[in-house]
Structure 1
Amino acid sequence: MERRSMMASGGLRVDTHAHIYHDAMPLAQDAWHRPVGEAPLDAYLACLDAHGIDRAVLAAVSLFGDYNDYALEAVAAQPRLRTTVIIDPETDIFILREMAKAGVVGVRLQWRSTPHPPDLDSFAWRKLFRRVADLGWHIQLHDNGPRLPDAIAAIERSGAPIVIDHFGRPDAARGVNCPGFVAVLRAVERGNCWVKMSGAFRLGPPAMVRELAAALLRQAGPERLLWGSDWPFAAFEGQVAYADTLACFEQLVPDAALRARIHRTAARFYFGEE
């Protein structure tokens, strides 16, 4: 399947945003959602094969806090996968290095449901961001659009690359004019920020999503964009299918050559492949 999909697309196809979990995993006390079913590794791999996707990046699941065990086991066993993790900022550098050997490529900050994000200018967070930069990892940032500017500024000061989830989650009423989305575009222009075209079904009216995609294509270009399915569509289980996310990607980026370049960006960024 992998060889056929590569031949059909002319290059690697990469899903940069998905989650895996099973019923025995401990749900965090502040989890924003209780999954209605499992999302096991085998099911996800089968989904990738069925849709001709060669590589994938797991996004740390905030529902389970810093319980990264399942994702770490998955990437250690599957060379076609990478993952981000959720960790305490005081996590020892030796642990981070072992995670890197297993297939970890970044730290996820999932703060959209957090009332008060931490002080990113504190020593603990500045130390973590510096270590992330030194390891060649990135910071995967997911927060409400209006809160992004301050977080982006703090991370940029460390030199760590930034990947913004879900188009930057702009305020639906303001769309491309949301200060957070504007801050994302400016960060991309400065050269150390990438944006995921993922989770469109979470954002608001389709017309707004099309405007966001057009602005990103115009100002960021395919070299700074990534595509992700957001499988298994937490809180939208049964409402979204994997094929729907691919169809959405094709609608937002109708040019097949541009889509191929976005996949190539992901292959290079996460796997060091062209």
Structure 2
Amino acid sequence: MSFSSLPLEAPLVDTHAHLYTLDMPLNANAWHKPPRDATVEHYLSVLDTHGVQFAVLAAASIYGDYNDYHIRACRRHARLRTTIIAHPQLDMYTLERMKADGVVGIRLQWRNVEERPDLTSVEYQRLLRRVADLNWHVHVHDDSHRLPETIRLLEQAGVRLVIDHFGRPNEQHGLAAPGFQAVLQSVDRGNTWVKLSAGFRLPSENFARECAAELLKSAGPERLLWGSDWPFAAFENRVSYADTISAFTRWIPDKHARRKIAGETALKLYFS
């Protein structure tokens, strides 16, 4: 694919969305119960309406390691990739088959999880080694105060990192928060990307802009990604897809930087 041939504002690569149907088995401790289906057909129609050509699905923690629907969607649609929630006992043969079906990484969704699994355990060390061997990444969503240790342990394992939702900094500590600073330092070390996604989950629009500006200054567009977080779990009736694209233009006013973030950087990381 020639990146130089892409139009200035498109295609956008949406690097964060979820798919599910109401008849899928929810986890017993699911933090949210969706009000309606979010099917692959509906999502693709949303992408087409807004001129988005490619997308990366994020494993939804409310369904645990039931990754089936995402994987089947990727088998059917070459424009899609996905992460999975992986049981640490998954064998390499299974993971290789998943890679052939469009899986690009594992998701650690630990925000609001009281106790994080032990990343130094034999089981997780084996899983992380397999992730590195597959040239996948670890997609991390953790509470900001816990991110410094999470990042340290994952970097020690030698995997590539993608941090969700700006790193979820809190407004009380602002940009100086240890978790946000740990994200910036990890990007500087060269094996981490950060998603500018779900700004509506941050305390305010102004805070999201401040975080985006600092990330752009420190990381540059080569280490940033854009994601919609469709279908906006727990915000289903308050956010539209167009809202998320508009927010992105406010966070990153320079159109050339947006083109890099939502086009070239994402395509290289997920589709090359």
- TM-score, normalised on structure 2? 0.96
Deviations 1:35-80, CA, capped at 9 Å, x for gaps = 1111000000000000000100000000111100000000011000
Alignment of 1:179-258 (within 5 A): 179-258=178-257
Structure 2 unaligned runs (5+)? none
Q: Which runs of 5+ in 1 are unaligned?
A: 1-5
Which of 99-108 and 174-183 deviates more?
174-183
Report the alpha carbon displacement of residue 88 of structure 1 after superposing the two structures with TM.
0.7
Partner of 1:170: 169
2:84 paired with 1:85: yes
Which residue matches 1:135? 134
Q: Answer whether contact 1:13 1:267 (CA < 8 A) is retained.
A: no
Q: Distance in 2 between matches of 1:175 and 1:63?
A: 29
| % same residue | 52
Number of the residue aligned with 2:267? 267
Is it true that 1:60 corresponds to 2:59 in the alignment?
A: yes
How many aligned residue pairs are there? Answer: 267
SS at match of 1:9: coil
Contact 1:167 1:212 in 2 (8 A): yes
Matched residue type, 2:34 = P
User: 2:131·2:137 contact (CA, 8 Å) conserved in 1?
Assistant: yes
Deviation larger for 123-132 or 218-227: 123-132
TM-score, reference length from structure 1: 0.95
SS of the residue corresponding to residue 94 of structure 2 reads: helix
1:18 counterpart residue number: 17
Query: What letter matches 2:200 in structure 1?
Result: F
Q: State the shift of 1:246 in Å.
A: 0.1
**SS state of the match for residue 16, structure 2?**
strand
Q: Hey, what does 1:36 align to over in structure 2?
A: 35
Task: Provide the secondary structure at the position in 2 that maps to 1:130.
Answer: helix
Q: For 2:52, what is the secondary structure of its paired residue?
A: coil
Structure 1 segments of 4+ aligned residues over 4 angstroms from their partners: none
Number of the residue aligned with 1:159: 158
Deviation track 1:10-35 (CA, whole Å, cap 9, x = no partner) reads 66420000000001100001100011
Structure 1 range deviating more: 212-221 or 170-179: 170-179
Aligned partners of 2:216 and 2:112: how far apart in 1? 28
With over 3 angstroms needed to count, the CA separation of the structure-2 counterparts of 1:258 and 1:145, relative to structure 1, is same
For the 8 Å contact 1:146–1:171, the answer to whether it is kept is no
Shift of residue 7 of structure 1?
5.7
Deviation of residue 113 (structure 1)?
2.2
Q: Secondary structure at the match of 1:238?
A: coil
